[in-house]
C-alpha cells in the first residue's frame, strides 16, 4: 500500500553510481558483490540473507539499466554465477567527462 511522503522523517535523492565509478577496471563481480558495492560495502562484506536479498533486488535493475557500459563473462564453474565488469568504452567515457582518471569510487559519496 502506498504511503504519504509525510509518513517519513526524510526522503533522499535516488542516485546511483555509473559502472566506471563502481567497478575496478580490471575486476569482474557477481551480482551479490555488485549489490554490496552499490551500498558502499566491500564486495566480500558479510550480510545476512534477508539483507542480501534486498540488496540484490536493487542490483539487478542497476545492471540492466547500465547494460551498455557493462561486460559479462561466463561462470567459472558450470553451476557458478556470472560475472560483470565495466566495459572499456565506459572507462574511456568516464575519463573524458571528468577530465581525468575514472577510478572506482570508494562509496563514501553514495
State pLDDT tens for residues 83-105. Answer: 999 999 999 876 665 554 444 44
CATH number at residue 45: 1.10.10
pTM (2 decimals)? 0.74
- 109 occurs within a structural domain: no
pLDDT number for residue 106: 44
Q: How many structural domains comprise the chain?
A: 1
Residue 27 near residue 34 (C-beta atoms within 8 A): no
**Per-residue pLDDT tens over the stretch 14-52:** 777 899 999 999 999 999 999 999 999 999 999 999 999
- 49 occurs within a structural domain: yes
Residue 71 near residue 90 (C-beta atoms within 8 A): no
Higher-confidence position of 92 and 108: 92
User: Among 44, 12, 4, 21, which residue's Cα sits nearest to residue 95?
Assistant: 21
Amino acid at each position: 500500500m502506498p504511503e504519504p511522503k509525510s509518513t517519513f522523517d526524510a526522503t533522499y535523492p535516488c542516485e546511483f553510481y555509473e559502472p566506471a565509478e563502481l567497478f575496478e577496471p580490471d575486476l569482474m563481480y557477481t551480482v551479490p558483490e555488485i549489490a554490496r558495492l552499490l551500498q558502499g560495502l566491500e564486495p566480500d562484506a558479510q550480510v545476512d540473507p534477508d539483507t542480501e536479498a534486498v540488496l540484490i533486488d536493487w542490483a539487478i535493475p542497476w545492471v540492466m539499466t547500465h547494460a551498455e557500459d557493462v561486460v559479462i563473462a561466463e561462470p567459472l564453474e558450470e553451476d557458478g554465477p556470472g560475472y560483470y565488469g565495466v566495459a572499456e568504452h565506459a572507462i574511456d567515457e568516464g575519463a573524458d567527462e571528468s577530465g581525468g582518471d575514472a577510478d572506482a569510487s570508494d562509496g563514501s559519496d553514495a
